[in-house]
Amino acid sequence: MNSKEIENMIISRRNEKQREILMRFFRTAPGQYGEGDEFLGLKVPETRAVVKEARRSVALDDISRLLASKWHEVRLAGLLLLVEEMNVALPRKKDNEAVAEAKTQRREQLATFYITHARQANNWDLVDLSCQFVLGPYIYLSGRYDILSTLAASDNLWEQRIAVVTTLYFIRQGLWQPTFDICDMLLEHDHDLIHKAMGWMLREVGKRDRGALESYLEARLKKLPRTTLRYAIERFTAQERKDWLKR
């Protein structure tokens, strides 16, 4: 299935009522973070259904064309196809040496492709549904944590959010330091979408290691954006949240 066929399948599912809702929800008005983004009105499961049908035969050139589409849901389909490709390239116990090497090269190809096209993931859902599943395993297996620092140092909001949300993959592997390092880089960021992403990741650390979260918050309390703190302590008791916010 090529990019045009995939795009046509998605366009055929257009829903005007849902489109209006999504345009408001994803802040597409002039001056908002999603300004200019165009929606067809598909819910994520509908886009996933198209991806499921198409995923076994889509080349990277076609994915590149999907990511260049003006339609939000078409770009999402391209990103979800990359997630599927990375899943196929993950190591398995039964892999022989030749297969393992081929998969290593494929993971690098997919990660490089994702980074090259990162700015096409230009809304928070596009970032959140893709980066942790594409960049996460590649960085974890290759040790290329410098990629996160490079993205965090970007002047592009979406690349910066990618740097934050990708660390969810490492949190699930029991590694907190990448999250702390990227949050440290972005402590003085001025955008709410970064503050929320940082708080989300810190909350995920706290689910697994509350002591590590509290130590991090304690050391940075005067610099931490209030939204980040609120998100990070959501699972604390009401009194604990009140005490932290007072401080």
Say yes or no to pLDDT of 215 above 80.
yes
Measured in degrees and rounded to the nearest 5, phi and psi for residue 56 equal -85, -5
Distance between CA atoms of residues 169 and 140, nearest Å: 8
Write the pLDDT tens digit of every residue in 114-164.
999 999 999 999 999 999 999 999 999 999 999 999 999 999 999 999 999
Kindly indicate the confidence band of residue 226, based on its pLDDT and cuts at 50, 70 and 90.
very high
pLDDT of residue 55: 72
Distance between CA atoms of residues 139 and 188, nearest Å: 25
Distance between CA atoms of residues 28 and 221, nearest Å: 33
pLDDT of residue 207: 97
| Helix runs in the chain, H state only | 3-11, 16-25, 44-54, 60-67, 72-88, 97-116, 124-128, 131-142, 146-152, 157-172, 177-185, 192-208, 210-220, 226-232, 238-246
pLDDT of residue 247: 87
Write the pLDDT tens digit of every residue in 7-45.
999 999 999 999 999 999 999 989 989 898 999 999 999
- DSSP letter at 28 equals -
Tell me which amino acid residue 40 is.
L
CA distances from 146 to 48, 62, 136, 218 (A): 31, 29, 12, 26
Residue listed under structure tokens 């076609």: 62
How wide is the angle at C-alpha 163 spanned by C-alphas 157 and 164, nearest 5°? 95
Write the pLDDT tens digit of every residue in 169-194.
999 999 999 999 999 999 999 999 99
Task: For the chain, give the number of residues.
Answer: 247
Tell the burial category of 229 from Cβ atoms under 10 Å away from its Cβ (0-12, 13-18, 19+): buried
Say yes or no to pLDDT of 56 above 90.
no
pTM: 0.95
